[in-house]
Amino acid sequence: MTATTLPIPTDAGDLPGLLWLPADREGPAPGLVVLQEIFGLSDHLQRRCAELAAQGYAVLAPQLFARLDPPVVGLEDRDEFESWLAEGMELTGQLPWERAEADAIAALGALRAHGAVDAEQVGLLGFCYGGGLAYAAAASAAEEDRPPSVLVSYYGSALPSLLDRAAQVEVPSLHHFGTADAFIPLEQVEQIRRAVTADGTREQVRFTLHEDAGHAFDNPHPGLHHAEASEAAWRQTLAVLAETMPAHD
């Protein structure tokens, strides 16, 4: 499934986004804004977007690194794992968090405004850097009385610094973490769980630990990938989306 480019209006000018629309659908589709890892809109992230469109969702992925000079879409995998990781972290550091959050919220608005999308059924899905960004955008959208319909966050790397905003994020949610995450230790993961679930009182918020999986376990790079966790998390993600924002009658 091929993506088209959709300009996303923002207060700092249009930001390019990649848009996947479900084929042969009659009527407006539920939508998902997908937010990238530190590696940008990699081939893997674009495949995930295409898979979601094949499930019946309209998917918009803002090219957040288009703000950089020179602009970047996605980093190619490389054998030198540490240098590849360092480059991704450096790129992320060049983009102010406030700018990225504003762009994520703008992407929500752009997808809701698209004629092929059901404006009342638009969610957020983010991976790593994008997992934290999706959570922050969900909090801001709720403050504006336009919360997303659902939130899925894969190992949101910024979540430990966002827990003071947990009261704003009451939408149906799914959080994925690995028990062997070297970037977010289990003690912090437990702090995140308590905050986002309001000590287990938010039944609409699900929190899944994947045994022996490290950080970014969905990424196919051999230095990160955990096949069992990746497959299980994706099944769980699709199930939550189908339950909260079904794409088919």
Distance spanning both ends of the chain, measured CA to CA: 22
Domains held by the chain: number: 1
With 0-12 / 13-18 / 19 or more C-beta atoms within 10 angstroms meaning exposed / middle / buried, residue 8 is buried
| Domain around 72 | 4-244
pLDDT of residue 249: 61
Mean pLDDT across 212-233? 97
Mean pLDDT of the chain, nearest integer: 96
CA angle (225, 189, 51) in 5-degree steps: 40
pLDDT of residue 181: 97
In a domain, 129, yes or no: yes
In a domain, 213, yes or no: yes
Closest CA to 177 of 154, 197, 203, 146: 154
Mean pLDDT across 183-208? 97
Report pLDDT digits (tens) over 16-53. 999 999 998 888 999 999 999 999 999 999 999 999 99
In a domain, 220, yes or no: yes
In a domain, 157, yes or no: yes
In a domain, 232, yes or no: yes
Report pLDDT digits (tens) over 70-123. 999 999 888 889 999 999 999 999 999 999 999 999 999 999 999 999 999 999
In a domain, 249, yes or no: no
CATH number of the domain within which 33 lies: 3.40.50.1820
Contact 226, 178 (CB under 8 A): yes
How many angstroms separate the CA atoms of 184 and 20, rounded?
32
Instruction: Label residue 159 by pLDDT band (50, 70, 90).
Output: very high
Instruction: Label residue 248 by pLDDT band (50, 70, 90).
Output: confident
In a domain, 39, yes or no: yes
In a domain, 222, yes or no: yes
